Homo-oligomer: A and B are copies of this chain.
Amino acid sequence: MTTSSLTRATLAKDLRLEWRSKDAINSMLFFALLVVVIFSFSFNPTAEESRQIAGGLVWVAFLFAAVVALNQTWARELRNQVLDAYRVSPAPANSLFLAKAFGNFIFVAVLEALMTPLFIVFYNLRALGPTWQLPVVAALGTWALVVNGTFFAAMSIRTRSREIMLPLLLFPISIPAVLAMVEATSAILSGEYSARPWIALLATYDVVFTTGCLLLFETVLDAE
């Protein structure tokens, strides 16, 4: 069986477990609503300053959603050591990695799709630059967060003593992506300058780190 069909099987399994019923989508919708409500209590949306940092606000909210998702990525595979069942099978490691990364991507993307309209309403946002670039930035930025997050989450379940290194490792690596996401979003919202160089940077980042993760994941998985 090809990697891609296995990826699909694993992804389908994860999504099924996550979304046994409509409950999950309801709970995500509710979660998105809560995040936006908490934000509007914390940053009075009528204040001019809040609107100026909306690009940052939105990404913080998304980052939070991503962290919730990433934290549980591997938990399910560790209970009952199911990961061992994967490791003794002939299935390629990368299809597991891709499935997990896609799963997280879908989770975060759905949340973003739910939260964005709420933010727009509450903060009265309107893009002055080219609006069509926004979904591109969102997709590229989310993938950047998710691909590294999935990889490092896998590393952290394997290494015991070196764990203190993890945030320090992940942190500098993520900075260019974060910078690009926020700057691109602000550029599009304000329309004052072009978001293109930032989008290019994000795309490069995605390509580089996706490749890196795919090359190294088997090593990480097979370390006991």
Are A31 and B168 in contact (CB-based, < 8 A)? yes
A161 close to chain B: CB less than 8 A: yes
A47 close to chain B: CB less than 8 A: yes
Instruction: State A68–B34 Cα separation when bound (angstroms).
Output: 14
CB distance from A83 to the nearest CB of B (A): 15
Are B52 and A171 in contact (CB-based, < 8 A)? no
> Which of A23, A34, A185 has the most C-beta atoms of chain B within 10 angstroms of its own C-beta?
A34
A42 close to chain B: CB less than 8 A: yes
Are B160 and A20 in contact (CB-based, < 8 A)? yes
Do A171 and B50 form a contact, CB below 8 Å, given A56-B39, A164-B22?
no
Are A38 and B178 in contact (CB-based, < 8 A)? yes
Are A49 and B53 in contact (CB-based, < 8 A)? yes
CB distance from A220 to the nearest CB of B (A): 17
A102 close to chain B: CB less than 8 A: no
A183 close to chain B: CB less than 8 A: yes
| Chain A 33-57 interface mask (CB, 8 Å, partner B; 1/0) | 1110111011100010110110111
**Chain A interface residue bracket vs B:** 35 or more
CB distance from A17 to the nearest CB of B (A): 9
> Which of A31, A42, A175, A182 has the most C-beta atoms of chain B within 10 angstroms of its own C-beta?
A42
A29 close to chain B: CB less than 8 A: yes
Are A26 and B182 in contact (CB-based, < 8 A)? no
Instruction: State A53–B179 Cα separation when bound (angstroms).
Output: 20
Instruction: State A155–B204 Cα separation when bound (angstroms).
Output: 44
Are B71 and A26 in contact (CB-based, < 8 A)? no
CB distance from A2 to the nearest CB of B (A): 31
Binds B, one of A58-66, A87-95, A132-140: A58-66
CB distance from A11 to the nearest CB of B (A): 17
Instruction: State A28–B164 Cα separation when bound (angstroms).
Output: 8
Are A27 and B183 in contact (CB-based, < 8 A)? no
Q: A18-B161, A31-B164 are in contact. List 17 more A-B contacts (CB 8 A).
A: A23-B160, A23-B161, A26-B164, A27-B161, A27-B167, A30-B166, A30-B167, A31-B64, A31-B167, A34-B168, A34-B171, A37-B178, A38-B63, A43-B56, A68-B163, A68-B164, A71-B71
